[in-house]
Structure 1
Amino acid sequence: MVRVSAPGKVMISGEYVVLEGAPALVAAAPARARVTLAARPTRTSDGSPPDPGRSPDAQPLPPEALLARTCAESVFGPLTRDMDLAIDTSALRHQGNGEGSRKLGLGSSAAAAAGTVAAVAAANGLDVSNPTVRARLLPIALDGHRAVAPEGSGADVAASTLGGFVRVRRDGEHLDAARIDWPASLHLALVWTGTPARTSDLVAKVKSLAARDATAYQRAITPLREAAATLLAAIERGDARGAIDAAAAHHDAMQLLGETAGAPIVTPELTKAAMIAHSIGGSAKPSGAGGGDVAIAFLPSESAIAELGDACRIAGLALLPLRLGDDGVRVDEPLD
């Protein structure tokens, strides 16, 4: 048996513009997908042959994991014996009060693809914690993830594979990805809005705007491109105040894009999170496509995080206890 985990992701800057080749920044979140490869039993509990398209508990396996396994075995070689694949992404979900689990938008499919590729690599004897090996895993995980996100940026897969804070830039089918250092003077917090969102719906509306009115699209996307570049540059030079101001501009630019495209990118809950962060000397913006899910707050101090938490509770929002920059894919239990 081999057990591997892969982190979720949180977008920090560059939403939407990353799809047209602009740089973006993404972080690995400590909520992790768990991937297990284990020797397949000859029969299931009811005496029937096992289905390789399902996990041992009879749940259908996600298509990104199935394709990622095929891609990984084509590169690293087939596994020496039949092994079942099991995926657990429950840590990437938020348990509601009697309402079942809700997706947080932390990239569960990307983590599943990255974790599956890492599991196959580990089963073939590779050290998946080695940065050089992780760089080899990334394009394979991207190939697997295309089963569910053929036009995605790949930023989420990069975070799940490499870990830390990752600067990405998409160039056609190729993704440039490299880890960067995070400035100690800039503090992050995640605010859960209580509302899950479908990224594909929002992206489709933005693409529709670009197709039907190129001029309006450029008027809306240009401020976002500029704000994202300013935010990334401030982070890379360690300018906390500059990053806080740029994140506020990033929020406003995402709102303009949504209004122009007729897409609810910045919801009332995301606006509320931004206003609360501003009131304590910080700023906040949607993380990811928007429409709900998570806001990311940029704050000048650790104490401001506690203030943000208190204010969010009063406003009906919640802080997520996730410290960003987690490790990339890793083996959690060595091969037996």
Structure 2
Amino acid sequence: MTRQRTVVRRAPGKLFVAGEYAVVEPGNPAILVAVDRYVTVTVTGPAEGGVEISSDLGPRGERRQWRDGRLSPYGTDDEQDARAELAHVTSAIETVARLLAERGFPAPVFNVSVESGLHDNGTKYGLGSSGAVTVATVAAVAAFCGLTLSDEERFRLALLATAEIDPKGSGGDLAASTWGGWIAYRAPDRAAVLALARRRGAGEALRAPWPGFDVRRLPVPESLSLEVGWTGTPASTAALVSDLHRRPWRGTAAHQRFIRTTTDCVRTAIDALERGDGRRLLEQIRRARRELALLDDEVALGVFTPRLTALCEAAEAVGGAAKPSGAGGGDCGIALLDAGAPRDIARLHERWASAGVVPLPVRPAAEGNEG
């Protein structure tokens, strides 16, 4: 195994197009699109005795030492506090290191630098920064250590790393950051694959079937323009999903109806994309918005904020379709409009600005992380 002196990898952010909340249940589909804002991870080495991490995702760098397969901070026993700030980076490194150990190699030592284009002066846009940094870190560390991995193997390692932090996350952001473009995604049972890795090793988890998991590229809707609006308010997807999991709504008839209807909506939207039927796709975006609004009414989760509501209404007023992207509660919303109607797009941006919504100059990213 040959370690390179410097490796740079980047991974794009993402937007959910449809399927939020339902996709956290294994096997349920969602549509995502990668966007041309990136997290870049640079690995250089070797470092002396451990791993040095610097990142613009946090206020300072961290020096870590290997202890029983984990990266622990120097000079303190308070591992939990030290790991929290850069949890996704350290978990990605540890996951690759476990695969290396199974193949008979020592824990790697190097310097890691993270630069994110998914933030505004430290405030996240809601474009999947934690997923992008996980994918980019796995890709960079694996390449630095001489591992040759397929897209799916990098995705699987990234999902295992993320599941160590929060097994409720669907992994859709990781898939978009890995494959790029427009994708259809179905999540595996994260608790089951994490248990498999712990019981039989990371290598076996890369080879074994993952029931429920599927990802495939979708055609770009050439007749439609994807517009993205930022509410200016960050939201925590993990907190919102965890909140939903704690509610007695789960397992009820209303929950089952939401899953069934959202799944049908996503499947119909996938068919519309594959047939190039823009009108039908717009109908499903509106339908997805209604389902999220109904969920919000039933559970009082806080998906729709006043600015997200204004974002959607502004798009409808100029003939488009719009919805929150992701868990809601802030972050971003998306709108799809006729790509041949630039005046409508300009009017949309004007309406958004009047409502306090910032149009983000992002476009779909055709490629995922560099491997």
TM-score (norm 2): 0.77
Name the counterpart of 2:254. 216
Name the counterpart of 1:294. 332
The one of 5, 14, 20 equivalent to 2:19 is 14
Aligned partner letter, 2:118? L
Residues 13 and 36, structure 2, Cα contact 8 Å, conserved in 1: yes
Aligned partner letter, 2:174? V
> Could you tell me how far 1:109 is from its partner in structure 2?
1.1
Name the counterpart of 2:346. 306
Name the counterpart of 2:112. 85
Aligned partner letter, 1:319? P
Q: Deviations over 1:135-190 (max 9, x none)?
A: 22110111112233322111101111121122111232433112222121122110
C-alpha separation in 2, matches of 1:292 and 1:81: 39
Matched length: 314
- 1:159 aligned onto 2:176: yes
1:198-277 equivalence runs, <5 A: 198-210=236-248, 214-277=252-315
C-alpha separation in 1, matches of 2:368 and 2:297: 36
The one of 114, 122, 130 equivalent to 2:143 is 122
Residues 64 and 146, structure 1, Cα contact 8 Å, conserved in 2: no
Q: Unpaired runs of 5+ in structure 2? A: 1-5, 63-81, 191-209
Name the counterpart of 1:58. 61
Q: Deviations over 1:230-271 (max 9, x none)?
A: 223222221111111110111111011011111111122111
C-alpha separation in 2, matches of 1:178 and 1:24: 11
Residues 220 and 260, structure 1, Cα contact 8 Å, conserved in 2: no
Residues 185 and 215, structure 2, Cα contact 8 Å, conserved in 1: yes
Cα 1:166–1:38 change in 2 (3 A) is: same
Aligned partner letter, 2:111? D
Residues 97 and 107, structure 2, Cα contact 8 Å, conserved in 1: no
Aligned partner letter, 1:93? H
Q: Deviations over 1:211-244 (max 9, x none)?
A: 5661232344443333333223222221111111
C-alpha separation in 2, matches of 1:107 and 1:212: 25
C-alpha separation in 1, matches of 2:30 and 2:258: 18
Cα 1:206–1:293 change in 2 (3 A) is: same
Aligned partner letter, 2:298? T
Residues 9 and 160, structure 1, Cα contact 8 Å, conserved in 2: yes
C-alpha separation in 1, matches of 2:323 and 2:169: 21
- 1:323 aligned onto 2:334: no
Counting aligned pairs with the same residue, the percent is 34
C-alpha separation in 2, matches of 1:94 and 1:237: 37
Helix, strand or coil at the partner of 1:121:
helix
1:276-287 equivalence runs, <5 A: 276-287=314-325
Helix, strand or coil at the partner of 1:258:
helix
Name the counterpart of 1:136. 153
- 1:94 aligned onto 2:120: yes
Q: Unpaired runs of 5+ in structure 1? A: 43-49, 96-100, 332-336
The one of 104, 109, 129 equivalent to 2:130 is 109
Larger RCO, structure (CA 8 Å, separation 6 or more): 1
Residues 4 and 330, structure 1, Cα contact 8 Å, conserved in 2: yes
Q: Deviations over 1:86-138 (max 9, x none)?
A: 2222x11124xxxxx3111111111111111111232244677xxxx222211
C-alpha separation in 2, matches of 1:80 and 1:55: 19
Residues 168 and 242, structure 2, Cα contact 8 Å, conserved in 1: no
Deviation above 6 Å: which 4+ runs of structure 1?
none
Helix, strand or coil at the partner of 2:187:
strand
Name the counterpart of 1:145. 162
Cα RMSD for the two superposed structures: 2.4
Q: Deviations over 1:251-304 (max 9, x none)?
A: 111011011111111122111111111111111001000111100101112513
C-alpha separation in 2, matches of 1:155 and 1:51: 31
C-alpha separation in 1, matches of 2:278 and 2:224: 5
- 1:176 aligned onto 2:214: yes
Aligned partner letter, 1:275? E
